């Protein structure tokens, strides 16, 4: 199983900055890709999956893609959640 993460930043002639994030990985013979593009007012997320599952002899080729819009970056949200949950077992004092 291999995975790759990329962040690209592009500045157009007017000085507007465009940022995109992508992550690709393979699992069970299927290639997965998640791409997030920052746009005005939020993010466009594209998730795709293609290939033939390696655990089934009679499996058919899979080619799926979906797109949706969100106001938060899914890559940044997961990172924050992991940090927040790290010490959940400790009773935090209130001041």
64: domain range? 3-85
The answer as to whether 92 is a domain residue is no
The answer as to whether 93 is a domain residue is no
Do the beta carbons of residue 48 and residue 62 sit within 8 Å? no
Q: How far apart are CA 33 and CA 6, in angstroms?
A: 11
34, β-bridge pairs: 23, 47
What pLDDT was estimated at residue 59?
A: 87
Residues of the chain with pLDDT under 50: 79-80
The answer as to whether 25 is a domain residue is yes
What pLDDT was estimated at residue 11?
A: 81
Q: How far apart are CA 45 and CA 75, in angstroms?
A: 10
Please give the tally of structural domains in the chain.
1
- With b meaning 16 or more CB within 10 Å and e meaning fewer, what string describes 74-93? bbeeeeeeeeeeeeeeeeee
Q: Using one digit for the tens of pLDDT, what is the confidence trace for 14-29? A: 887 788 889 999 998 8
The answer as to whether 59 is a domain residue is yes
What pLDDT was estimated at residue 65?
A: 96
What pLDDT was estimated at residue 19?
A: 84
What pLDDT was estimated at residue 35?
A: 93
């Amino acid at each position: 199983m291999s995975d790759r993460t990329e962040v690209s930043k592009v500045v157009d002639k007017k000085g507007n900055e465009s940022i995109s994030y992508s992550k690709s990985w393979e699992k069970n013979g299927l290639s997965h890709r998640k791409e997030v593009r920052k746009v005005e007012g939020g993010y466009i997320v594209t998730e795709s999956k293609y290939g033939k599952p390696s655990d089934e002899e009679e499996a058919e080729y899979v080619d799926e893609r979906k797109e949706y819009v969100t106001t938060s970056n899914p890559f940044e949200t997961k990172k924050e959640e992991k940090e927040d949950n790290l010490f959940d077992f400790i009773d935090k004092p209130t001041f």
